[in-house]
Amino acid sequence: MNTKPKPAAGKPSGGPTLKRVLGLPSLVAFGLTSMGILSVVAVYGAGTEISDGHLPAAYLAALIAMLFTAHSYGQMARHVPVTGGAYAYASRAFGQPVGFLVGWAMMLDYLFLPMVNFLLFGLYLNSLLPGIPPQLAVLLCLLAVGLFSVIGVAWIKKMNFVVVSASVAVILVFVVLAILNAPSLSLENVVRPLSLGDGGIAPVMAAGAVVAFAFLGFDGVSTLSEEARNPKRDIPRGIILSTLFAGLGYTLFSVAGSLVAPEWRTIQNLDAAGTELMQAAGGDVLMVVFVVVNLGGLVLCGTAAQMSVSRVIYAMGRDRILPSVLARLQPRFRTPYVAALLVSAVSLVALLITLEQAVFMINFGALIAFAVVNLATIKVLFFDLRKRGWVGTLRNLLLPLLGFAFIAWLWTSLAWFTYLLGAAWLAVGVVILVLRRGRGGNLLALDFDDAAHDDDAAHDDDVTGANAPSESADGARIP
């Protein structure tokens, strides 16, 4: 009888491993790139219209609400420092079958998020160079992202800094020019869009539900735990800081936009409000610079999303839920190249769908992952590890409950088509789960003992490791 223990899921079992090269600045840059700093322009028109000119207030409301969920991701990343994000956290809290379904739903978000960037890249490049058909631009972007995903984070982190810096520079230049060229600059015009307005809180909160989707992508930082040099310290900080910086950048941009166009109804095309505002503040030069920088941002945002989903697929392959070939790493770059190439192949669907259809699918998967991570934080930290007291109750119960409540409210803003497609996707996941068990496949109990993961385990009194008892996915104590 073979008594050789099976390799534990949730961490490497020998052979090549992901390369630990990321520090806190790189993680923050990755989070900002995943969200896309200039993505504020994508929902500027719709958010302004719904809030009746009070878009900055809507962004502040969305930022505060999203920070609750970012906090939950940070708490779980500190206690479950392995790749996989919401998949790993749900597995730790509720067992691997639930974790698989959450990861499956999250893949819907991550698979379609690159497609959104490919489609936007095609539209923007075609607007700058009309001779290039949008579909050809989509294909070029897809190929570039596939290459970058195989090269890995060691190279991409340098490009992230360049694009993030350029995006921040564009926003700052826009803000300065908006102040200089504002039709009427006064403290009242600055404060007014930050207030509730005549309609009260309802329009602002309704717009907050729309602009909250500009924050989708911050959770991608949690999938890099095995590529961070100090995951238990830097992953939580990277999640919170990238969310905070993005929200403040969105708010600053929208305040500047309200100065350039104090009466939002004068904007001729709300769908293209970003380019119109850039032209109003800095003329054609600023508009062209904005489009070029945005194109670079879309490539790296697509890369960040593809890297995130490939690591979720890698984790599932390593845990033997999906075929183990998906857990193969490229020897030189130590990246999950098979998973990355699979995502590139699936992304060819971007040549056949519309931008609206892709956005529908992203929202469903992201909100499932966000909701479950909030619940997982309560289950693992408050109930399993009994981190209570007044501070623990606040951090591990009340804040995650607020995060869950906001995500539940966001569900009410989704289109009916989203529920239909999302339910079909989950049904496919259930079939895979049943077939996996029916063919004798074992869903392993995940071992999240993180003592071997990074050298700060002995110094973190919040994490179970070599010096303290830990728990298995079903809550049993492991000595």
pLDDT digits (tens, 9 = 90+) for 218-233: 887 887 888 888 888 9
CA nearest to 465, candidates 84, 35, 453, 101: 453
The tokens for 193 are 């869009």
Mind listing the pLDDT tens digit for each residue in 60-119?
988 988 999 999 999 998 888 877 788 889 988 998 889 889 988 877 877 887 888 888
Q: Does residue 459 have a pLDDT over 60?
A: no
Helix axes 273-318, 231-260, angle to 10 degrees: 160
In sequence order, the 6+-apart residues with CB closer than 8 A to the CB of 60 are 194, 247, 251
For residues 423 and 411, the answer to whether their CB atoms sit within 8 Å is no
The predicted structure's pLDDT at residue 271: 64
Integer Cα distance of 169 and 63 in angstroms? 22
The predicted structure's pLDDT at residue 443: 44
The tokens for 205 are 């909160």
| Eight-class DSSP state of 397 | I
Q: Between 277 and 416, where is the model more confident?
A: 277
Q: Transcribe 408-472 into DSSP letters.
A: HHHHTTS-HHHHHHHHHHHHHHHHHHHHHHHTT---PPP----TTT-TTGGG-TTS-STTS-EE-
Q: How much is the average pLDDT of 9-38?
A: 74
Question: Could you tell me the pLDDT band of residue 462, with boundaries at 50, 70 and 90?
Answer: very low
| Burial class (CB within 10 angstroms; exposed 0-12, middle 13-18, buried 19+) of 187 | exposed
Q: Between 359 and 234, where is the model more confident?
A: 234
| Eight-class DSSP state of 262 | S
Q: How much is the average pLDDT of 147-165?
A: 75
For residues 54 and 260, the answer to whether their CB atoms sit within 8 Å is no
The predicted structure's pLDDT at residue 298: 86
Q: Between 159 and 103, where is the model more confident?
A: 103
Mind listing the pLDDT tens digit for each residue in 127-154?
788 899 989 999 999 999 988 888 866 6
Domain boundary assignment for the chain: 24-466
H-state helical runs in 129-229: 134-151, 153-180, 187-191, 201-211
The predicted structure's pLDDT at residue 261: 85
Q: How much is the average pLDDT of 33-55?
A: 81
Lowest mean pLDDT among 94-103, 250-259, 273-282, 444-453: 444-453
Assigned architecture for domain 24-466 = Up-down Bundle (1.20)
The predicted structure's pLDDT at residue 247: 92
The helix/strand/coil state of 20 is coil
Question: Could you tell me the pLDDT band of residue 378, with boundaries at 50, 70 and 90?
Answer: very high
The predicted structure's pLDDT at residue 154: 61
Portion of the chain with pLDDT greater than 70, in percent: 85
CA nearest to 53, candidates 252, 214, 265: 265
Question: Could you tell me the pLDDT band of residue 16, with boundaries at 50, 70 and 90?
Answer: low
Q: How much is the average pLDDT of 453-465?
A: 36
Lowest mean pLDDT among 27-41, 161-175, 290-304, 445-459: 445-459
Integer Cα distance of 30 and 33 in angstroms? 5
Q: Does residue 215 have a pLDDT over 60?
A: yes
For residues 383 and 128, the answer to whether their CB atoms sit within 8 Å is no
Q: How much is the average pLDDT of 172-183?
A: 89
Task: Tell me the pLDDT of the chain averaged across its residues.
Answer: 80
